[in-house]
Amino acid sequence: MDFVTLDEDEFSYGVLADVLPGVQRVIAENPSKFTYHGTGTYIVGDADVAVIDPGPQLDSHRDALAAALDGRTVRSILVTHCHSDHSPLAAWLAAETGAPTIAFGPHAEAVDEWDIGSLPDDFGRAPSTESVSAEKASVDDEPKVEESTDTDFSPDIAVRTGDVVFESADIEIRALHTPGHTSNHSCFALSSEAVGRVLFTGDHVMGWSTTVVSPPDGDMGAYMESLRMVAGRDDDVAIPTHGSPIPNPARYITSLVEHRVERERQVLDAVRRGLTTIPEMVTELYAAVRVELHRPAGASVLGHLVKLVDDGELAVVGDGRPRLDSAFAAH
């Protein structure tokens, strides 16, 4: 599918930049194959503002945000989810400004969480002589490894779909729960006469890559359902935390849905043809992808397998919950 990239000459780290009328961005200098060029923290409003995804615990980013917010009043601190490239600076910003942190909730202690096992140690390991830049890694049409979870994060205000999380002048922002990437992921929907309808998508929809959906907290069935829901909206632009704004988001997100459906079909077909383990499936289905991305691809394939088992299409050999080291068979 056609991704939406962000060229390096289009931004500078730590610099406040206009994205849309009333929407500005500061990018943290934490580039990698899982954050693209880095975490984009968004500031919405003029004198009274909302801050979306304060970002990682990085001194340079903290200082850049302090400078960008000087003379303004922060009213809401919105967090899409609690991965460590999104939420850690929320605690500092709340302490500095007195504004509440707002999100769906903390990291879920899932009732049905299970041990997902592990892939073989030698699977997906690139030769030590191979060196690949983060920039090249960023444009692959495959899932990327996620940063760790910020388990310390717990919002001051827990919100659900439709709740108003910020109002100022002609701007209104509402929460939109979009589980899948994580169970506590939310997007934030802005409506304004100046810019129309803007959806801040966090990691639910990214322009530069597909989104990793890794069990046990990641749920492919929930992801597909919420992805279809977002595709059915009439937003004018989608703005992910990493990368560039996405024009015509309904068309783009529909293509993401189709991509996921096709990947699920490929996984199901692979098992029906006799491939029983995740390493076998990844080696075939991701043959065109660099070997060092095969391990995170394995996590995404597990997400598809969990859904297919739950749907009754496949079974785990020997029963039990699907794991990275399980064998799978068709019914």
The tokens for 21 are: 């009328």
Write down the pLDDT at residue 144: 40
Mean pLDDT of 13-30: 96
Res. 112: pLDDT tops 90: no
Q: Closest Cα partner for 233 from 208, 196, 207, 258?
A: 196
Question: What is the rounded CA–CA span in Å between residue 152 and residue 149?
Answer: 9
Write down the pLDDT at residue 147: 52
**What confidence category does residue 113 fall into, taking pLDDT thresholds of 50, 70 and 90?**
confident
Q: Facing residues of 246 across strands?
A: 238
pLDDT in tens, 46-98: 999 999 999 999 999 999 999 999 999 999 999 999 999 999 999 999 999 99
Mean pLDDT of 22-40: 91
Those residues whose C-beta lies under 8 Å from the C-beta of residue 329, and which sit 6 or more positions away, are 271, 276, 314, 315, 317
Give the residue with greater pLDDT, 69 vs 289.
Answer: 69
pLDDT in tens, 149-163: 999 999 999 999 999
**What confidence category does residue 138 fall into, taking pLDDT thresholds of 50, 70 and 90?**
very low
Write down the pLDDT at residue 215: 92
Question: What is the rounded CA–CA span in Å between residue 282 and residue 286?
Answer: 5
Type and span of the H or E element at 308:
helix 294-310
List the chain domain ranges. Answer: 8-250
**What confidence category does residue 35 fall into, taking pLDDT thresholds of 50, 70 and 90?**
confident
The tokens for 42 are: 């968004």
Mean pLDDT of 11-21: 96
Identify the DSSP state of 269.
H
Mean pLDDT of 286-298: 87
Write down the pLDDT at residue 133: 39
pLDDT in tens, 225-239: 999 999 999 999 999
Let me know: does 268 contact 314? Beta carbons within 8 Å: yes
The tokens for 281 are: 């499936």
Write down the pLDDT at residue 319: 85
| Global pTM value | 0.90
Question: What is the rounded CA–CA span in Å between residue 24 and residue 217?
Answer: 31
The tokens for 325 are: 């080291």
Q: Which CATH architecture has domain 8-250?
A: 4-Layer Sandwich (3.60)
Write down the pLDDT at residue 130: 43
pLDDT in tens, 210-219: 898 989 999 9
From residue 94, how far is each of 79, 87, 90, 155 by CA, in Å?
12, 11, 6, 10
Residue 24 backbone zone (phi > 0: left; psi -120 to 50: alpha; other: beta): beta
Average pLDDT of the chain is 91
Mean pLDDT of 240-253: 96
Type and span of the H or E element at 304:
helix 294-310
- Name the burial class of residue 273, with classes exposed (0-12), middle (13-18) and buried (19+) by CB atoms within 10 angstroms of its CB: exposed
Identify the DSSP state of 147.
P
